[in-house]
Amino acid sequence: MINTVNDFWQMAWQEDCPVIVMITKLKEKNEKCVLYWPEKRGIYGKVEVFVNNVKECDHYIIRSLILKNGGQSRKVQHYWYTSWPDQKTPESAGPLLQLVNDVEQDRRGFTSCGPIIVHCSAGIGRTGCFMATTIGCRQLELEGVVDVLGIVCQLRTDRGGMIQTEEQYEFVHHALSLYESRLPAEPGQ
């Protein structure tokens, strides 16, 4: 929201966030999210944000940002997934899995050990699907099995209402099934 933009950037700075994932359009039926980043350069409270590079992919836009506060600066990747409809699911899980993979690669490549910021509009439906898919992919890689219900229950313990609809829950299953089919036969390979 317009009155929380400065707080958002302060949080990103304070928590040493390496990656921001936005899974909403700015406007769907009504306003979902204000444009909280600048075109080139903007000052948000004590945090200065520079857009260093913009790369457009089929389903999302990647902005390489530089945040400055005092005499320090940090890099942050901003992913804006634009093709996920509100309270629904995408037609295919492939683009979501690509996003999960790209975000994970960026997270591992940054020296920052802060959390990834993930948001949609309400922060529970699409955000929950992204987080459950990310956690499930990691489980599959490390253990060769995934507990989708367990992941969703834990997410809902942490934030009520995560994954809003039956369709979204099924989509997470579908995405993880597709991810599993692409893995090598043995975990850890």
pLDDT band at 133 (very low <50, low <70, confident <90, very high): very high
Which contiguous run of DSSP H or E holds residue 179?
helix 166-182
150 is in which domain, residue-wise? Answer: 2-182
DSSP 161: T
Of 17, 33, 113, 120, the active-site residue reads 120
16 part of a folded domain? yes
pLDDT in tens, 15-69: 999 999 999 988 877 778 899 999 999 999 999 999 999 999 989 999 999 999 9
187 part of a folded domain? no
Least confident of 99-103, 108-112, 125-129, 139-143: 108-112
In the residue annotation, 120 being an active-site residue is answered as yes
Specify the number of domains making up the chain: 1
CATH code, domain with 115: 3.90.190.10
Strand partners, 79: 21, 62
DSSP 3: G
176 part of a folded domain? yes
| Token reading at 3 | 């009155």
- The CA distance from 91 to 136, in Å, is 20
Provide mean pLDDT across the span 143-167: 94
